[in-house]
Amino acid sequence: MTDLPELLPPLLRGLWVTLQLTAGAAALAIPAALLSGLGRMSRRPYLSWPAACYVEVFRGTSALVQLFWVYYVLPLLGLRLPAVWAGILVLGLHTGAYGAEIVRGAIANVPKGQAEAAVALNMTPTATLWRILVPQAVPLMLPPAGNLLIELLKNTALVSLITITDLTFSAQLLRSETFRTVEVFSIALLMYFAAAQVLNGGMRLLERRAARHRGRA
């Protein structure tokens, strides 16, 4: 019979992989969300159409099917990605597609008078966007972005299906070796919960700082 402390090391290693996947996918999702969200608001079709296609495709299809397509179909077309990179790519682009709507909605909710004042000051559209609209939209983006980040953490469990030894895959292996299903998955559940609470706490801290900065502006 395996003692409970002996279950922790493999699960902690799996948790570390899960956190790395989350960080990597988030690093891809943030610029993808920002660029596609702004692209959808552009009046230039060569920017708005590709952004719209990206958002609709990734929001309108299953993340699991996207993951299988990238990992199993792309090699047939001559492009093979390591499992970890395939997971980061799919999770990042999938999350970025949802984040694009957060970006677009936040910028649309900035009072129109801010943009009108920028025009009165002869600011260029680019300067207005990056110096006026985006900074004021960031505090509006953070609460839904925090929820999306936690959703990303939970979605990393999908990569266990392409044999990445994340927390879920580690738990499955450990259960098959020890037959201690209740203990193994209870610990995994607590690890996911703890990681989500850390992420939630970090985002709440960012929200408070952004709110204070906005109040001083």
Map tokens 């985006």 to a residue.
Answer: 134
Q: What's the mean pLDDT in 112-139? A: 77
User: Are the C-beta atoms of residues 91 and 25 closer than 8 Å to each other?
Assistant: yes
Q: Please return the burial class of 143, using the count of CB atoms within 10 Å of its CB with bins 0-12, 13-18 and 19+.
A: middle
pLDDT band at 213 (very low <50, low <70, confident <90, very high): low
CB atoms within 10 A of CB 75: 12
Tokens of 164: 């990445």
pLDDT in tens, 16-69: 999 999 999 999 999 999 999 999 888 888 889 999 999 999 999 999 999 999
Q: What is the pLDDT of residue 146?
A: 92
126-148 residue pLDDT tens: 777 777 788 888 888 989 999 99
Q: Residues of the chain with pLDDT > 90: what percent?
A: 60
DSSP state letter for 161: G
**What are the structure tokens assigned to 138, written together?**
């960031």
The answer to whether 174 and 105 are in contact (CB under 8 A) is no
What rounded mean pLDDT belongs to the chain? 88
Closest alpha carbon to 107 in 125, 95, 83: 125
Q: What pTM does this model have?
A: 0.88
How confident is the model at residue 215, as a pLDDT?
55
